[in-house]
Structure 1
Amino acid sequence: MQKWEYVTVPLLVHATKQILDNWGEDGWELVQVVPGPNPEQLVAYLKRPKA
């Protein structure tokens, strides 16, 4: 059975692509993006296979 690890990452709207690209380089896959605590921030949920 595949096991996963998860992380939540704050995203700034002016740097979203750069932040997600950096996490993607480390093997993290984007699952969902939800609104953050203020209008200029989002929160990304990511996962990757557990080693």
Structure 2
Amino acid sequence: MVKWEYATVPLLIHATKQILDQWGEDGWELVQVVPGPNDSNLVAYLKRPRD
């Protein structure tokens, strides 16, 4: 059975691709992006298998 670890990451609108690319390089998979606490930010939910 796969065990997962999760991360929540604030995304800056002007650097979204770079932020997600970096997390992807570290093995994280994007699950969902939702609006953050204010309208100018987004929050990404990511997961990856635990070792």
Category of TM-score, reference length = shorter chain: over 0.9
Instruction: Let me know the Cα RMSD of the aligned residues.
Output: 0.4
Consecutive aligned runs of 4 or more in structure 1 exceeding 2 Å deviation: none
What is the deviation of 1:2? Answer: 0.5
Query: What is the TM-score normalised by the length of structure 2?
Result: 0.97
Report % sequence identity. Answer: 82
Number of aligned residue pairs: 51
Query: What is the TM-score normalised by the length of structure 1?
Result: 0.97
The residue identity in structure 2 corresponding to 1:11 is L
What is the deviation of 1:39? Answer: 1.2
Return 5+ residue gaps in structure 1 as ranges: none
Match for residue 46 of structure 1?
A: 46
Return 5+ residue gaps in structure 2 as ranges: none
